[in-house]
Chains A and B, each alone.
Chain A
Amino acid sequence: MVRLWVWLAVVMVILNSHSAVADNDGIALKKVDFDTTITARQRGAETVVGVCLMCHSLKYVKFGDLAGIGMSPEKIQSLLTDQQFADPLLSLTPLAVRKESFGTEPPDLSLMVVARKRGPQYIYTLLTSFYIDETGRTNNYLFPGVKMPDMLGYSLTAEGSAERAQVEAQIRDAVSFLMWAADPNADERREMGVYVIVYLIVLTILLYLMKRRAWRRVR
């Protein structure tokens, strides 16, 4: 038994050292919980389509896929400009224009949550780290010199004000939507996982009992 604990401890240390690497170096990310209900995701989808899509694309997500977060066809329809249901969420601003105005290509957001270490916290912290420096220009604590403007106007709101809380809530929802967009099957996967694990545990217990029975004959 003692040995088992020693082995478990070793495994834990190894797993921990892995996540130690996965930590972001530099400025600490804000710890926030994200609301993963479909209403939060739907609100987030509206923000992302309405604001972020001016510059960014989500090329792996199609408008029709939004049914996966419980959006009705009418609701999806209201998000369309001149795209179809089968079209991916591509930015309507031509790439050349975006490159020209920002000096860089805004990255695709479909996988952003998994493309950064501790992605959800990272994006939330990024969007809530805008501030106005002495020269009156907007900058970002997490990503100094970021070429993305403060689109949601976080830096314009006062610390502790109701407006700021509102912007923060909006960003949280946008992040929950991006979490869904990065892995739309995650809910199904976890649900299935519960059944699989319960099944395996029962099966393994039965196998153990069978093993005990078979081995009784061996001295």
Chain B
Amino acid sequence: MFKKTLGWIDERFPLTVIVKHELTEYPVPKNLTYWWSFGFLAIFILGVQLVSGIFLAMHYKPDALLAFDSIQHIMRNVNYGWLIRYLHSTGASAFFAVIFIHIARTLYYGSYRRPRELMWWTGLVLLLLMMTTAFMGYLLPWGQTSYWGAQVITSLFGTTPFYGEDIVRWLRGGYVVGDATLTRFFALHYLLPFIIIAGVVIHVVALHWVKGSNPSGITLTAGDNIPFHPYFTIKDLFGLGVFLIVFCSFVFFGPEFFIESANNIPADPLHTPQHIVPEWYFLPFYTILRSIPDALGGVIAMIMSLLVFAALPWLDRSSVPGGALYRPGYRILVYLFFIDVLVLGYVGTQPPEGVSMVVGRVATFVYFGLFLLLPIVSSGEDRRSRRAGLPSAAERLIREEQEELLRSQHNQRREGDKMPEKRKRSHLRGHK
């Protein structure tokens, strides 16, 4: 029965071929570490957010007068409403945590370089979409932090020269954040995840075209690739298990951790809370915003702090494979960057005065400075490796891969048609 149905479908739609080609037999470098599991985890949480979000929307009321109460209705009266809501609120943080690690891995191993620039850029667009979605979703509980957070962030657009006020009014649907803002944010918060899914499809199609990177940074030959199933299905499932243990610990034992206490007070346009701290995943960018003395300058710096990532494929002038693994100079930059982002994040939690203001400014300077240093450091590394050769480990790996490639091409010639069509692109793109 199953076979017959499948046969019927296969005659009309390449189901088996797609599953085989893109999933079960999709070749994956066998030397991947667990840092490569986070892309899959991100897709998993996207699913959790989508499903829990749809169920929340069935009970939530996007109305300034009803929104806050409807959340309590979900928490108290809806069957397992508390579980759905805590999955969703904790899921937002988990999503960012996983994506940040995913990005950190890409940075560390320099995976944004040729031929994966489009993956890097689609990934960056996905991050921006995710941030927008999270920001809009955060307004929906209609608590004090929700309200004033939206008020502050939308007012940033007011720094736009000439049209500032008009843009802010257009975004809010009024002079202040109000019912109109809430309903439009709800509409967009429901829409954007589907656009994110489309973005993820493009991201994954690009991945399957260029194939995944691996810690060595050297494109491995067919012999060093293994099929996705069963090796990576089971590896990713184990990773998922570990992730779920951490995730569920928060959902069941500390869900309030991610809910700012002021957000349990209904939005009140007449009372500004003392200090508004954004969600943790916005903190580094928030610090950059605050560190520039000029309002417009701060907004530009904050936007640039994200957009500058798009330039990485050009800023990194080295063709030494393996990112930080074989590049000591780059490794220092990457670690400094990670530490700097943590410092920026910490400063974001502190009131903007005294020492923390100074530290924030220094960290902002370092943040952009590292991007500017990258072309110099990387072209230096490139020159040195051209003179002195690659690190011996990389050399050895490339030699091995080359030999194996020769062998396999040799075999291919001998056995002729019987060999499956090997991919002609890719192969050894390590060192020019």
List A residues at the B interface (Cβ < 8 Å).
10, 13-14, 17-18, 20-22, 60, 65, 107, 110-111, 114-117, 119, 182-185, 189-190, 192-193, 196-197, 200-201, 203-204, 207-208, 210-211, 214-215, 218
Among B132-140, B242-250, B306-314, B326-334, which stretch is in contact with chain A? B242-250
The A-B contact count (CB < 8 A) is 95
Among B2-10, B39-47, B233-241, B315-323, which stretch is in contact with chain A? B233-241
Q: Are A218 and B252 in contact (CB under 8 A)?
A: no
Q: Are A200 and B238 in contact (CB under 8 A)?
A: no
What CA separation (Å) do A204 and B231 show in the bound complex?
16
What CA separation (Å) do A182 and B72 show in the bound complex?
10
Q: Are B230 and A214 in contact (CB under 8 A)?
A: yes
B4 CB, min distance to chain A CBs, angstroms: 31
29 sample A-B contacts, Cβ–Cβ < 8 Å, listed by A number: A14-B345, A17-B346, A18-B280, A60-B76, A115-B261, A117-B261, A183-B75, A185-B76, A189-B83, A190-B252, A190-B253, A193-B251, A193-B252, A197-B249, A200-B245, A200-B248, A201-B245, A203-B241, A204-B241, A204-B244, A207-B234, A207-B237, A207-B241, A208-B238, A210-B238, A211-B235, A211-B238, A214-B230, A215-B231
Q: Are B245 and A115 in contact (CB under 8 A)?
A: no
Is B372 close to A, CB under 8 A? no
A176 CB, min distance to chain B CBs, angstroms: 17
- Please pick, from A60, A196, A210, A211, the residue contacting B72 in the complex, using a CB distance under 8 A: A60
What CA separation (Å) do A115 and B209 show in the bound complex?
50
A193: chain B residues within 8 A (beta carbon): 248-249, 251-253
Q: Are B349 and A200 in contact (CB under 8 A)?
A: no
What CA separation (Å) do A197 and B213 show in the bound complex?
33
Is B124 close to A, CB under 8 A? no
A17: chain B residues within 8 A (beta carbon): 345-346, 349
B267 CB, min distance to chain A CBs, angstroms: 13
A218: chain B residues within 8 A (beta carbon): 30, 226, 231
A190: chain B residues within 8 A (beta carbon): 252-253
* Chain A binding surface SS class: helix
Name A117's closest neighbour in chain B (CB-CB): B261
Name B82's closest neighbour in chain A (CB-CB): A185
List B residues at the A interface (Cβ < 8 Å).
30, 69, 72, 75-76, 82-83, 86, 226, 230-231, 234-235, 237-238, 241-242, 244-245, 248-249, 251-253, 255-257, 259, 261-262, 264-265, 277, 280, 342, 345-346, 349-350
Q: Are B252 and A114 in contact (CB under 8 A)?
A: no
What CA separation (Å) do A210 and B251 show in the bound complex?
27
B269 CB, min distance to chain A CBs, angstroms: 15
B237 CB, min distance to chain A CBs, angstroms: 5
In the A-B complex, the 3 residue pairs with the smallest Cβ-Cβ separation, listed nearest first, are A193-B252, A204-B241, A115-B264
What CA separation (Å) do A214 and B248 show in the bound complex?
27
Q: Are B261 and A18 in contact (CB under 8 A)?
A: no
Name B241's closest neighbour in chain A (CB-CB): A204
What CA separation (Å) do A208 and B239 show in the bound complex?
9
What CA separation (Å) do A62 and B51 show in the bound complex?
30
Residue in A21, A22, A107, A190 whose Cβ sees the most chain B Cβ within 10 Å: A21
Q: Are A204 and B245 in contact (CB under 8 A)?
A: yes
What CA separation (Å) do A14 and B253 show in the bound complex?
18
B72: chain A residues within 8 A (beta carbon): 60, 110-111
Given A115-B265, A183-B75, A189-B83: A18 and B249 within 8 A (CB)?
Answer: no
Residue in B30, B241, B262 whose Cβ sees the most chain A Cβ within 10 Å: B241
Q: Are A21 and B83 in contact (CB under 8 A)?
A: no
Q: A185-B75, A192-B252, A211-B235 are in contact. List 6 more A-B contacts (CB 8 A).
A: A115-B265, A183-B82, A190-B253, A207-B241, A208-B241, A218-B226
Q: Are B277 and A21 in contact (CB under 8 A)?
A: yes
What CA separation (Å) do A183 and B256 show in the bound complex?
10
Q: Are A18 and B349 in contact (CB under 8 A)?
A: yes
Name A20's closest neighbour in chain B (CB-CB): B349
B92 CB, min distance to chain A CBs, angstroms: 15
Q: Are A10 and B342 in contact (CB under 8 A)?
A: yes
Residue in B235, B244, B261 whose Cβ sees the most chain A Cβ within 10 Å: B261
B237: chain A residues within 8 A (beta carbon): 207, 211
